[in-house]
Structure 1
Amino acid sequence: MKALSVSRFNALWLVLMAVMIATRFKHFGDMLHLPDASMAVFFLGGLTLRRHWTFVVMVLLAVALDWVSISYAGVSDFCITLAYSFLPLAYAVLWYAGRWFAPRMSGSAMSYAGAFMVALLAAIGSFAISNGSFYWLGGRYANPHMSEYLSRLWQWGPLFVGTTMGYVATALALQAVVSRVATPANAQGGARA
C-alpha cells in the first residue's frame, strides 16, 4: 500500500476519529448506538495512517472519550482500574500489526484476505491483553484463578473480536470497492474494446 497524500491522510484520519467518537460511548451498543469500533479503528489506522504520532493521538482521544463518558454521560467507571494502563499496549498490538502488514497491501484479493487474518490475530492478542490485565490486575475479582479467567475470556472474547472483525471486514470491502472504482480501466489490465 503506497503512502497517502496529505489530503487523503487527513480525510481518513478524520473518518477514523469520527467513527471512534460515534461508537465509544456505549461499548456494547444498543438500538441507538453502534458497538465500540475502537479496536478496528486502531488496526485500520496502523494499516493506512501508519505514523507513530498518530497512534499516540488516537490513544489520547480514546482516553479523553472515556473520561467524558464517565464524567458527563453517566457511563460506569467499573473498568477504570490499574489495568486501564494496559490499554495503550492492547491498542499498540492492533496498530502495529496493521502497520506491519501495510507494505503487503497490493489491492489483490489475497492481500485483503491477509489483512483480515492479521487483524483477526491482532484482535485476539489485543483482547487477551486488555481482558487479562483487567481480570488479573483490576482488583474486581476476590480470588482470580485460571479456570474463571478462561471462562470470562471465552464469554467476552467472541463479542469483542467479532465486532472488531465486522468493522474491519466492512472497511476492507469498502477500500476494495473504492480502489477498484478509482483505478482507471487501463490500469486494471487494459480497457475492453
Structure 2
Amino acid sequence: MHLSPRSQLAIGLVLALLLAVTRGQHFATVNLPSASWAVFFLAGVLLKPRWVFPALFLEATALDFSMVALGTVDDWCTSPAYWILVPAYAALWGGGRLYAGWHRDELRSLAVLALTVLVSALVCHLLSSGGFYFLSGRYPEPTLAAFLPRIGWYYPRFLANLALYVGVATALYIGARAFFQQQRVEAKP
C-alpha cells in the first residue's frame, strides 16, 4: 500500500484528531466509542514514519493525565500498570505494520486483515487488561482463574470498537481506490 507523503500527513492528522475526540470524556459532548486501538492499528498500516507510534502514545498519555488533572475522569486507570500500554499499543501498531506488508488489492486481503486485527487486538488486550489486573494494585490477590473470565467480558467490547473503525477505514480505502481508478480510466484518450 503506497501513499504519498501528503496523504500520510492528512491521514496522520485525522488519526490524531480521532484519538483526541474519542479518548475519554474531555472534548466531545457525545461519547463516541474509543478509537484508541484502531488509531494505533491504522497508523501501523497507513503511516510509514516510525516516530508516529511514540507521538500517538504521547498524545494518548497527555490526554489521559490531563483528564485526571482536570477531574473529568478519576485516577482509577492511572497506576504503575499504565505503562504496560506501551507494549499493548505496540502490538496493535506492529499488527498494522505486518498487515501493510501483507496487503494486496485483492478480496482475500480482507480475511488477512480480519485475522491480523483479531490477533493483534488479543495480544493488546492480554497485555493491557492483564497488566492492569495483575500490576495495578487495584485487585487484592489477583489470580489467573479470576482474570480469565474478564477476557470474555471485556475483549469483545474493545474488539467491536476496533472492528468498527477499521471497517469504516477499509470501506473508505476501497471507495477511494475505486474512485481514483475510475478517474484514471476516464482520463485515458
TM value normalised by structure 2: 0.91
Aligned to 2:22: 23
Distance in 1 (CA, whole Å) between partners of 2:110 and 2:96 is 12
User: Do the aligned residues in 2 keep the contact of 1:26 with 1:35 (CA within 8 Å)?
Assistant: no
From 53, 56, 59, give the equivalent of 1:55. 53
- For residues 64-103 of structure 1, the aligned pairs below 5 Å read 64-103=62-101
Amino acid in the other structure paired with 2:80 = L
Q: Secondary structure at the match of 1:74?
A: coil
- For residues 144-155 of structure 1, the aligned pairs below 5 Å read 144-155=142-153
Distance in 1 (CA, whole Å) between partners of 2:33 and 2:85 is 18
User: Do the aligned residues in 1 keep the contact of 2:84 with 2:128 (CA within 8 Å)?
Assistant: yes
Which has the larger displacement, 53-62 or 156-165? 156-165
Amino acid in the other structure paired with 2:4 = S
Q: Is 1:41 paired with 2:46?
A: no
Change (3 A) 1:160 1:26: farther
Distance in 1 (CA, whole Å) between partners of 2:162 and 2:25 is 15
Amino acid in the other structure paired with 1:37 = A
1:42-77 deviation line (CA, Å, top 9, x unaligned): 000000003211111011111011112111252111
TM superposition shift of 1:185: 6.3
Aligned to 2:30: 32
Distance in 2 (CA, whole Å) between partners of 1:113 and 1:34 is 27
Change (3 A) 1:23 1:73: farther
Change (3 A) 1:177 1:131: same
Distance in 1 (CA, whole Å) between partners of 2:12 and 2:71 is 25
Distance in 1 (CA, whole Å) between partners of 2:98 and 2:105 is 16
Aligned to 1:134: 132
Q: May I ask how many residue pairs the two structures share in their alignment?
A: 186
User: Do the aligned residues in 2 keep the contact of 1:105 with 1:111 (CA within 8 Å)?
Assistant: yes
* Root-mean-square deviation (Å): 2.1
Change (3 A) 1:31 1:22: closer
TM value normalised by structure 1: 0.89
Amino acid in the other structure paired with 1:176 = I
- For residues 151-170 of structure 1, the aligned pairs below 5 Å read 151-170=149-168
Q: Secondary structure at the match of 1:65?
A: helix
Q: Secondary structure at the match of 1:11?
A: helix
Change (3 A) 1:108 1:66: same
The percent of aligned pairs where both chains have the same amino acid is 35
User: Do the aligned residues in 2 keep the contact of 1:26 with 1:36 (CA within 8 Å)?
Assistant: no
TM superposition shift of 1:106: 2.0
> Tell me, which stretches of 5 or more residues in structure 2 are unaligned?
none
User: Do the aligned residues in 2 keep the contact of 1:116 with 1:168 (CA within 8 Å)?
Assistant: no
Amino acid in the other structure paired with 1:9 = Q
